Structure 1
Amino acid sequence: MPDLRTVFRWIALLAASAFLAAALNLARFPAALLLGPMLVAIVFGIRGAGLALPRPLFLAAQAVIGCLVAHSITPEITRTIVDDAALICAAVCVTVLAGAILGIILTRLQILPGSTAAWGSAPGGAAAMVAMSEAYGSDPRLVAFMQYVRVAAVVLTASVVARFFVDGSALPAVAAAEPAPALSVLATLGIAALGAGLAMLLHIPAAALVGPMLLGAVLHTTGIASVSVPGALLDAAYAGIGWYVGLRFNRETLRAVWHALPGILVATVAIIVLCGSWAWGLTFLLPIDFLTAFLATSPGGLDSVAIIAVGSKADVSFVLGVQTLRLFTVLLTGPILARWIARAAPGPGA
């Protein structure tokens, strides 16, 4: 059983998260229920609270978000990918290339080892990148820190950008306030469990999110089942993902990466600016708004970007089409890029 101090810390985390989320919601920030808990958890983690969200709860939160996304997906997502395939592939390639270039720079400057810099700079799902980096011999602590620093920065930046493109009626908390039929909720929970389970058995990347998203989208758009996520469950999923990301920041990790921290921060800002510039360029090539382009090219986690996209005026189909394609591209090309970037390391006499 957890000791009393741990219980009190969780209560304090919950209370502070609820307060900040409410304040951000009043300020009309999209994804306030993700952003508030994440920022509070970062403070708790760095101050040595010693808390960590169990991974099964994080996977459950991802499955709920997958069902939320499935509810928003229409057949247009397929048509969008087919109709704009060339530009979508270009958007994916630009982001992946930007991550590779930053990895090479970090390696050449000897800020990080080559393979660690490659996986840490890769703009894919943070959890998937950490898992694959460990399998390929990289330092998972450094990769996790780089990935979650970028996720936190992307969520914060995207929320600020979305704040100026969204009205108060589009916030997630408002959208989730409608009562959901009990049968529909049970069907949704079944889709979440079955989709995540099948995706894990098939070793699909980001299985807990992608499985329910794909299965739910098929069943929902064909009318076989109705996907409906109750507000309380959605709020808990938002907070769970925010806590999981935020609590990954702790004193031990900071000490381990202290020498690399300035380079990591500069690299994080650089890739966000590069992707933001490409997003601005896409608005001249496609009939999409800047928010949609920014979220589609954002080098953050698929789950967090999906939350912001669903809770704002963005074109969810386009955003998820680009993000999903990029995730699979990074997973397929990651080992090759890691070896390529590792070769960029200067020799002993350099």
Structure 2
Amino acid sequence: MFLAFIIALIGALLFSALSLPIPWLIGPIFSVLIAQFFIKDRLRWPATLRNTGLIIVGVAIGQQFDFALFSDFQSLMLFMVIVNVLLFLFCLGIAWGISRTTGLTFKTAVAANVPGGLSQLVLFAEEEGDVNLTAVTYFHIVRVLGVVLLIPFLVSGNVVGGASIPLTLDVWQVVLLIILSAALVPIGKRLKLPVAHFLTPIIVVIALKLFSIDTPTMPSDVLHIAQLLIGAYIGLLLKPSTLRLPAKVLAGGVLSTIAMIVLTYGTSLLIAEFLNLSFATSFLSTAPGGLDQMGLLAAAVKADISVVTVFQLFRLLFIFLCILPLIKWIYREREKELS
């Protein structure tokens, strides 16, 4: 674990020296990803550290949430529904093509191409006995890596973080706020919140703001630490053993990621025009990544965090409340007909 930390830190410092976007997230992803192809079966990074990073980023996003967003919520809701329906239909088309060319079942291809959270879709694949878990995991890991590594270069080269605050009383207030958010995460899990370690802190800070309780600004150094904790975890997701899948499946994962990013690019241009949003905001709102990754990028790039969070949360709920239950129901009915 210490070796993984050193490699992640080297990547962060190198990307920072090169003035690349979001160096404390992308640097660790890139360095750890490459390192494990040379240092086999030695790097470890527990999910607890990743979750700690998510809590910190969740607090920072909650601090920047703008309630003015809901003044025109009807228009926003309309676009969220249209975008997600179009994206799902597009994913069905990609899934059909993947199943025809790779030999994967259509159910596996759908689970591999629905742009939900990595952990949630992998859990869905584990619950369904007739889904190729390795293929689904590979597709979503490639999408996470592609989105997190590519999108910052598309939306902006400018990196922003929290305010540069010296280690004073404010920092200890930040620590207390992080501890409070972490303590309430089990409640978020019981409520079945998607990505509870990320969403619970957002809700906690928003609740404090509703009661006019001031929260300290998140120092940039603390956000850098959080990005490193998350980046090292993402970098370790793609194992060399995963690349033993058939070449057609490997190529399908890359091509489907590219196709979704291209679709996102087109829809984000339309949304930016109609809703008067910046390109960075509209792109991150519609990008096929998880709520936590897109929220983290929105916190690091000049984007409207409120809009990005609401769009990504709506997609996550749309997929897990509508799409995945629908897929399960369709296949149950087919099994009844065959039996």
TM-score exceeds 0.5: yes
* Alignment partner, residue 337 of structure 1: 327
Q: What is the CA-CA distance between 1:313 and the residue it aligns to?
A: 1.8
Change (3 A) 1:258 1:80: farther
For residues 263-342 of structure 1, what are the structure 2 equivalents within 5 Å? 263-332=252-321, 333-337=323-327
Aligned residues: percent identity?
23
| Contact 2:53/2:225 (<8 A) preserved | yes
> Given the alignment of the two structures, is residue 144 of structure 1 paired with residue 133 of structure 2, yes or no?
no
| Cα shift readout 1:196-217 (whole Å, capped 9, x = no counterpart) | 2211111222111111111222
| Worse-matched range after superposition: 233-242 or 261-270 | 233-242
For 1:283 and 1:241, the matched residues in 2 are separated by 29
| Partner residue of 2:12 out of 21, 24, 33 | 21
Kindly report which structure 2 residues correspond to 1:68-83, keeping only aligned pairs within 5 A, or say none: 68-79=60-71, 81-83=73-75
Give the direction of change, closer, same or farther, for the CA distance of 1:32–1:150 in structure 2 (3 Å limit).
same
Q: Where does residue 3 of structure 1 map in the other structure?
A: none
SS at match of 1:78: helix
Return the offset for 1:18: 2.8
Question: Residue 115 of structure 1 aligns to which amino acid in structure 2?
Answer: K
Unaligned stretches of 5+ residues in structure 2: 335-339
Partner of 2:150: 157
Query: How many Å separate the matches in 1 of 2:192 and 2:62?
Result: 20
Give 1:222's aligned residue: 211
**CA spacing shift, 1:159–1:111, aligned 2, 3 Å:** farther
1:299, distance to aligned residue in structure 2 (A):
0.3
Report if the CA contact (8 A) 2:98-2:252 is conserved. Answer: yes
| CA–CA separation in structure 2 for the residues paired with 1:30 and 1:69 | 19
Question: Is 1:177 aligned to 2:164, yes or no?
Answer: yes
Q: Conserved in 1, the CA contact under 8 Å of 2:102 and 2:249?
A: no
CA contact (8 A) 1:77 1:321 kept: no
Match of 1:256 among 245, 249, 269: 245
C-alpha displacement of 1:192:
2.1
- 1:55–1:78 distance in 2 versus 1, CA, 3 Å: same
CA distance in 1, matches of 2:251, 2:138: 13
The correspondence of residues 42-191 of structure 1 with structure 2, limited to 5 A, is: 42-50=33-41, 51-79=43-71, 81-137=73-129, 138-164=131-157, 166=158, 170-172=159-161, 175-179=162-166, 181-191=170-180
Q: What's the RMSD between the two structures over aligned residues?
A: 2.5
84 and 210 in structure 1: CA distance in 2 versus 1, 3 angstrom threshold: same
CA–CA distance in 2 between the matches of 1:148 and 1:290? 25
> How many residues were matched structurally?
329
Q: Which has the higher contact order (CA 8 A, sep 6+)?
A: 1
Task: After TM superposition, give the deviation of residue 35 of structure 1 in Å.
Answer: 0.6
Matches of 1:341 and 1:265, distance apart in 2 = 27
Match of 1:4 in 2: none
Q: Which runs of 5+ in 1 are unaligned?
A: 1-6, 345-350
Query: Partners in 1 of 2:267 and 2:227 — Cα distance?
Result: 28
1:197–1:77 Cα change, 3 Å: farther
The aligned counterpart of 2:186 is 197
1:31 corresponds in structure 2 to 22
Indicate conservation of the 8 Å contact 2:55/2:181, yes or no. yes
SS of corresponding position for 1:109: helix
Shift of 1:108: 2.5
The one-letter code sitting in structure 2 at the alignment partner of 1:188 is: L
Deviation at 1:36, TM superposition (A): 0.6
Separation in 1 of the partners of 2:230 and 2:182?
Answer: 17
Provide, for residues 211-248 of structure 1, a one-character-per-residue CA deviation record: whole Å limited to 9, x for no partner.
Answer: 11112222134323515434443222211211111111
Q: SS where residue 314 of structure 1 aligns?
A: coil
Provide Cα deviations, 1:236-282, integer angstroms capped at 9, x if missing partner: 22112111111111121111354410111111111111111111222
